[in-house]
Amino acid sequence: MASGRAARLRAPRTTHASFELAAGRDPVGIILAQEADRLQDLLPLRHSRMAASAFAFYRGAPAVMAFDLSTTPRTGITVQASGDAHISNFGLFASPERVLVFDANDFDETIPGPWEWDIKRLAASVVIAARTNGFDAKEARTSVTKAVCAYREQMARYATMPLLDIWYDQTTAEDIEAMVVKETRKAGTARSPKDVRARLDTVFTRARGKDQMRAMDSLTEIIDGDWRIKDDPPVVGHFEVPGGAPALEATFNEYRATLAQNRREMIERYRFIDLALKVVGVGSVGTRCFVILLEGRDHDDPLLLQAKEATASVLEPYVEASPFANHGERVVVGQRLMQATPDIFLGWTRGPGGRDYYFRQLWDMKGSIDPTAMRPAGLRIYGALCASSLARTHARTGDAIAIAAYLGSSDTFDGAIADFAEAYAAQNERDYKAFLAAIADGSVTTGPG
């Protein structure tokens, strides 16, 4: 507690309210520099997706915000930071016990770093989503302060809990239902608890149905009696593997060696069927991301894995370098630390050409809600849910007592971060307009997407 309060001398809570643009800051230049080693023919698709809205641009520009955060006050309290904790990087998925849970679900940028950078990125995303949805300033302010308050109050609870209780804590579908019903009653909206439960049940049912067999229906077809991944240019397509089958086998063997013994033995019972490149997300477009089709007992026993390229975290230039030589290992270790129930097939490897990858299941009851389609009440609840999950990841990997002591019981920090989020949302709008101008003058290319 003394350490957390002492951090207020290094970085008073009110100093988080604003930020100053660094000299020579060039958001479009930062984005283009990050793309230098990506698949160049996919970059027009990435730019088109980022150009869809200010929120989509924000999703694709974590490197820009990392640059900006590097000059903001630091408390000196380190956690396993997400590096990209915006509200679209949280969602539903299945735990190994087949329970539907809600947690952070993107760890490409994770690295030990300042906890306050994550809450700033989350808070700014709430305001940007609110503005994208046409909310007025008061509605946006209420949404972001609700989120930061939820983080602060959840961290205070974790500060009083035994470490094992923090480690085992998780947010289930039932927890979400109870929270939403409670908040709906508190807000006095016209919706009845029965209506709220029915809407949530639709979301949960859709997530539970997004499983391996659903993925097979969407991504594969039968050719000459065998399953194959369907080509769907430019989003899905086959390619020539450098080094051929021997290189692919060696890469997959290295991945399996990173799994626990029981899971390694299970996946060794599957045989390889097919491999294809698959474009995912917004910010990830252009990185090498693959779908791997495996078959177990027979044709009715498929397993679809995703192998995603892992490059240096956008935070790495501004924090201590990653201790891992393989960025896939950095992502996997970070996810295992931060996520309450990580994927049982999570592992890493180094592929042909020396590129780093991490593996996971493609779909496993994956569900999400589009924040740019939310009403004010929904965004308030969803932002708070994401913030509570973020607090759990920080409490699992950092000093919850010190962070809680720094935050305190007043709303001083809440207001400061809300001010920052509003200022950064305005800056993101200016960056987005600069990006659109670069598209208009031809310095940034776009394509169908």
- Average pLDDT of each block of 10 consecutive residues along the chain (449 residues)? 96 94 94 94 95 96 97 96 96 86 94 98 98 96 97 98 95 90 74 79 83 81 89 90 83 92 92 92 91 90 93 96 95 95 93 91 80 89 96 97 98 98 98 97 86
Q: Do both 8 and 70 map to the same domain? A: yes
445 domain residue, yes or no: no
234 upstream amide cis, omega within 30 of 0? yes
356 domain residue, yes or no: yes
Q: Do both 24 and 171 map to the same domain? A: yes
328 domain residue, yes or no: yes
Q: What is the DSSP letter of 236?
A: E
Phi, psi values for residue 383, rounded to 5°:
-60, -40
Domain range holding 263?
Answer: 212-361
Q: Do both 131 and 261 map to the same domain? A: no
Q: Do both 156 and 230 map to the same domain? A: no
Q: Do both 185 and 217 map to the same domain? A: no
Q: How many other CB atoms are found less than 10 A from the CB of residue 8? A: 18
- Nearest one of 191, 216, 87, 152 to 404, comparing CA atoms: 152
User: Two tokens at 111?
Assistant: 């690295």
What is the domain count for the chain?
A: 2
Alpha-carbon distance 108 to 322, whole Å? 13
- The pLDDT score that the predictor gives to residue 366 is 80
Q: Do both 112 and 141 map to the same domain? A: yes
Q: Do both 163 and 141 map to the same domain? A: yes
CA atoms within 13 A on the CB side of 210: 19
Q: Of 337, 361, 385, which one is at a domain's C-terminal end?
A: 361
Q: Do both 137 and 260 map to the same domain? A: no
Alpha-carbon distance 68 to 423, whole Å? 12
367 domain residue, yes or no: no
433 domain residue, yes or no: yes
Whether the CA torsion 344, 349, 352, 356 is positive or negative: it is positive
- The pLDDT score that the predictor gives to residue 114 is 98
448 domain residue, yes or no: no
The strand pairing partners of 307, in sequence order, are 290, 359
- The pLDDT score that the predictor gives to residue 18 is 86
Alpha-carbon distance 429 to 443, whole Å? 19
366 domain residue, yes or no: no
401 domain residue, yes or no: yes
Q: Of 310, 342, 361, which one is at a domain's C-terminal end?
A: 361
Q: Do both 227 and 164 map to the same domain? A: no
Q: Do both 357 and 248 map to the same domain? A: yes
Q: Do both 248 and 130 map to the same domain? A: no
User: Two tokens at 57?
Assistant: 């641009």
Q: Do both 199 and 219 map to the same domain? A: no
- The pLDDT score that the predictor gives to residue 202 is 86
Q: What is the DSSP letter of 2?
A: H
- The pLDDT score that the predictor gives to residue 234 is 87
One-letter amino acid identity for 374? M
Q: Of 361, 381, 403, which one is at a domain's C-terminal end?
A: 361
Alpha-carbon distance 417 to 405, whole Å? 17
Q: What angle do CA 29, 104, 312 make, to 5 degrees?
A: 35
* pTM, two decimal places: 0.94
- The pLDDT score that the predictor gives to residue 189 is 61
